[in-house]
Structure 1
Amino acid sequence: MRIAIFTETFVPALDGVVTRLRSTIDELLKIGDEMLVIAPSYGEGPAYYHDVPIHRVAGVPFPPYPQIMLAPSNPRVGRALKKFGPDLIHAVNPFVLGSGAPFYAHRMGLPLVASYHTNVTTYARYYGMGLGERAGRWWTRTLHNRAQVNLCTSETTRKYLSENGVERLHVWPQGVDTARFHPGKRSPEWRSKLTGGHPDAPVLLYVGRLGREKNIGSLKNVLRAMPGVRLALVGDGPARGELEEEFAGMPAVFSGTRRGAELTAAYASADALVFPSTTETLGLAMLEALSSGLPVIAARAGAAHEVVEDGVSGLLYDPDERGSLVTACRRVLTDADLRARLREGARRSAETKDWETSTRALRGYYEMALAAR
């Protein structure tokens, strides 16, 4: 099968969407499929991912969040598609660049699959764009309803999209690389880095974008209530400067973006992952933590309950109940037996998910779209 993939973000950018897309492409290559990726330009970004060509589209930074590139489609995209000759188009999180996917699918007589990964319209209110939130929901519905098949990453998101008028919805299963993210990657060196040179202290880990929508500031309450506990934040984003000021004088380490062996060691070397976001469509960091044998303490919101089994692989807390987060962190960090059980449950949970199964499900949806066309 020849698949053209429109995506609003791709390498060298690093986020949950890019991780899922890279892992999916890896599996599709094993099957023998051929792909063309159409993605924003990031300066000197690579022209290929493995053997898959990347057609780069010029764009401009999104002002509230400069790491995001707004790259409208242009006639060169059409020429690249015509040269490649796809059997199907997959629009990943269509919004700006991906808005061209329905046009080209119609023009070329191709089936369109669209997948929803990020709650873009909900994020709008965190950046002072309330009007944009209403318009964004209309735009999302309009784009997705031109696809033969629409995918999302959780049942919670499927329900949300259905209530907002998106049709022909299916869930694209979770996946994680359990060989890469493994408890055996624990590192004394990284334990020391995460704790700011206090490796014997309990340490909570946050991994992800440093953005206003992630509710990271709530973690200050844990550090105030539990003297001696350390917090390590791995990632970057538009709110990093604000957060560094907020956490000034507290036992918090900002490690920046980490990749490869550094990232896997960070997961395996902490005591628990804290995930305070209430706006996630899935939360890939939670899956990577579980695979690393790391208990997850997550807000009972969004799709967290579909990833974390409360009391088995982690603890879910009520983000609206004062003290609930602190109570959950105290339970995990002070009860060694509970922490050991959660570690075992975390790894066991992750072992039921893999990218091969996830990608074979995706390919089934591709075949469904081809049949519908």
Structure 2
Amino acid sequence: MSSGLKVLHVAETVRGGIATYLNELHPHQSDSFGRGNVNYVVPSDHRSDLVNIEDDAVTTFPRDGRNVIGLFAMLSATMRAVRQLRPDIIHLHSSFAGLVVRPVLWLTYRRSRIVYCPHGWAFGRETGRLSRAVTQFTELVLAKLTHRIVCISESEQVDAIRVGIATKRLALVHNGISKQRPVLDQRSAPWRSDKIRVLFIGRLDRQKGYDLLIEAARALGDAIDVRLIGASVVSKFSRSDLPANVSLLGWMDRNQIEAELDQADMVAIPSRWEAFGLVAIEAMRAAKPIIAFRIGALPEIVEDGVTGVLCDQVSPEKLVEGFQRATRLDLPAVGRAGYERFTRLYDIEQTHRGLSQVYADVLHTHESEAGQQAKLQSDFSNNLQP
């Protein structure tokens, strides 16, 4: 991929997985495409989630929750950045950026190639039948306005094909993170417990299944000790009814998270639905076993009984059974197997190479189409001449 390629990343929210994705990718894209050629549109209240990315590379917009005003502000900021930067690639992240920006770009600015990463299909979430049908139809229509859709897991790609999105528009590029772990925060409070130390990292929202973990912990009071890193983003969370073996640590920075990971025996990912689960590969990088449900991409990432424990149904009872199974495993050995799997499959350099190929493909297709158009016009002009 030649340097000088201009990429604009646009997200309606970045807190959590998308911030990790962009932070991990940024140094590689900057090195490949040139400093100043990789830019971002993100909400102002999430600006600090992008680390080691210069201010002049970031356009922010005001956002007070998810509403029409916030979405319009994102669209305005995006169009301002597009006019100013004239990017070759506009890379949209998540469904709201895809929903709002794609039709407007298609109508007003055809020069850029549009790449869209849903980071989990909206129709794959827990919703009513009508809502799911509407989101499937919307994604199907908008796919036609998209030069390439990047699926972050095989399950996401299968779901896209199942609802009728053309295979030629899809590209599979697994998420990745750096092989190098961030520095551990040495000020972290020691985690002294003779129980299995279980760490949860993520939003305290229904999707992430933190409530299922709390119920399992309540039932396993003598066996596990749980720490929750995160806070609620969508739903309201009450800390008053936590059992004695569950501690809430709130949001932490990456170095603090790594210090907590280091002390944990296992990482719990009890999500009800999950497009990929970056926390899973962060746990594997730290050589920690994972316990999760057999949903979304998690069965692709976690090998049951080898790098962790997969529970067949989404319920506290199945989670309890999973923890009981985990007590019979050699957890450090399972963690080491996870680390080996991580280094083989989920390195950020592979993600970067995959995305660079997607960018090259859509630009090459564009040039071919432009060449064909010019040839047709030339042939038409020649045929008109006497």
Counterparts in 2 of 1:202 and 1:31: CA distance versus 1, 3 Å? same
Instruction: State the Cα distance separating 1:24 from its structure 2 match.
Output: 1.3
User: Partner of 1:111 in structure 2?
Assistant: 113
Q: Kindly provide the amino acid, as one letter, of the partner of residue 270 in structure 2.
A: P
Cα distance in 2, alignment partners of residues 148 and 24 from structure 1: 21
C-alpha contact (below 8 Å) 1:60/1:70 kept by paired residues: no
Instruction: State the Cα distance separating 1:357 from its structure 2 match.
Output: 1.5
C-alpha contact (below 8 Å) 1:233/1:255 kept by paired residues: yes
Instruction: State the Cα distance separating 1:302 from its structure 2 match.
Output: 0.9
Cα distance in 2, alignment partners of residues 44 and 301 from structure 1: 31
Structure 1 residue matching 2:45: 3-state secondary structure: coil
User: Partner of 1:42 in structure 2?
Assistant: 45
Counterparts in 2 of 1:44 and 1:278: CA distance versus 1, 3 Å? closer
Whether 2:239 is the aligned partner of 1:244: answer yes
Whether 2:288 is the aligned partner of 1:286: answer no
Alignment of 1:271-350 (within 5 A): 271-320=265-314, 323-332=317-326, 334-335=327-328, 338-350=330-342
Counterparts in 2 of 1:145 and 1:40: CA distance versus 1, 3 Å? farther
Gaps of 5+ in 2: 367-386
C-alpha contact (below 8 Å) 1:190/1:269 kept by paired residues: no
Structure 1 residue matching 2:179: 3-state secondary structure: coil
Percent of aligned pairs sharing the same letter: 22
Instruction: State the Cα distance separating 1:214 from its structure 2 match.
Output: 2.0
Instruction: State the Cα distance separating 1:171 from its structure 2 match.
Output: 1.0
CA deviation vs aligned residue, 1:145-191 (integer Å, no higher than 9, x gap): 31111111100011112212223111112312231169xx5979544
C-alpha contact (below 8 Å) 1:5/1:37 kept by paired residues: yes
C-alpha contact (below 8 Å) 1:150/1:170 kept by paired residues: yes
Instruction: State the Cα distance separating 1:122 from its structure 2 match.
Output: 4.4
Counterparts in 2 of 1:53 and 1:119: CA distance versus 1, 3 Å? same
Q: Which has the higher strand share?
A: 1
Q: Kindly provide the amino acid, as one letter, of the partner of residue 317 in structure 1.
A: C
Counterparts in 2 of 1:320 and 1:42: CA distance versus 1, 3 Å? closer
Q: Kindly provide the amino acid, as one letter, of the partner of residue 207 in structure 1.
A: I
C-alpha contact (below 8 Å) 2:199/2:266 kept by paired residues: yes
User: Partner of 2:376 in structure 1?
Assistant: none
Counterparts in 2 of 1:110 and 1:240: CA distance versus 1, 3 Å? closer
CA deviation vs aligned residue, 1:93-146 (integer Å, no higher than 9, x gap): 242476224532552422211112034344463xxx775443333323332331
TM-score by length of 1: 0.84
User: Partner of 1:195 in structure 2?
Assistant: none
C-alpha contact (below 8 Å) 1:7/1:39 kept by paired residues: yes
Paired residues in the alignment total 353
Counterparts in 2 of 1:181 and 1:306: CA distance versus 1, 3 Å? farther
User: Partner of 1:59 in structure 2?
Assistant: 63
Counterparts in 2 of 1:297 and 1:35: CA distance versus 1, 3 Å? same
Larger Rg: 2
C-alpha contact (below 8 Å) 2:12/2:74 kept by paired residues: no
Cα distance in 1, alignment partners of residues 87 and 188 from structure 2: 47
C-alpha contact (below 8 Å) 2:41/2:77 kept by paired residues: no
Cα distance in 1, alignment partners of residues 185 and 39 from structure 2: 37
TM-score by length of 2: 0.82
Cα distance in 2, alignment partners of residues 313 and 44 from structure 1: 35
Counterparts in 2 of 1:133 and 1:157: CA distance versus 1, 3 Å? same
Instruction: State the Cα distance separating 1:6 from its structure 2 match.
Output: 1.6
C-alpha contact (below 8 Å) 1:204/1:273 kept by paired residues: yes
Q: Kindly provide the amino acid, as one letter, of the partner of residue 49 in structure 1.
A: I
Return the match for 1:369 from 362, 372, 375: 362
Alignment of 1:167-316 (within 5 A): 167=166, 168-180=169-181, 185=184, 189-192=188-191, 198-228=192-222, 229-238=224-233, 241-247=236-242, 249-316=243-310
C-alpha contact (below 8 Å) 1:148/1:372 kept by paired residues: no
Cα distance in 2, alignment partners of residues 338 and 298 from structure 1: 17
Cα distance in 2, alignment partners of residues 121 and 241 from structure 1: 23
Structure 1 residue matching 2:65: 3-state secondary structure: strand
Larger mean CA deviation between 282-291 and 172-181 belongs to 172-181
CA deviation vs aligned residue, 1:73-102 (integer Å, no higher than 9, x gap): 455543431221211211112424762245
Gaps of 5+ in 1: 193-197
C-alpha contact (below 8 Å) 2:10/2:92 kept by paired residues: yes
Larger mean CA deviation between 215-224 and 283-292 belongs to 215-224
User: Partner of 1:9 in structure 2?
Assistant: 13
Cα distance in 2, alignment partners of residues 152 and 108 from structure 1: 23
Instruction: State the Cα distance separating 1:366 from its structure 2 match.
Output: 0.3
| Root-mean-square deviation (Å) | 2.9
Cα distance in 1, alignment partners of residues 154 and 72 from structure 2: 30
Counterparts in 2 of 1:158 and 1:314: CA distance versus 1, 3 Å? same
C-alpha contact (below 8 Å) 2:75/2:100 kept by paired residues: no
Cα distance in 2, alignment partners of residues 327 and 43 from structure 1: 38
Cα distance in 1, alignment partners of residues 325 and 99 from structure 2: 44
User: Partner of 1:120 in structure 2?
Assistant: 122
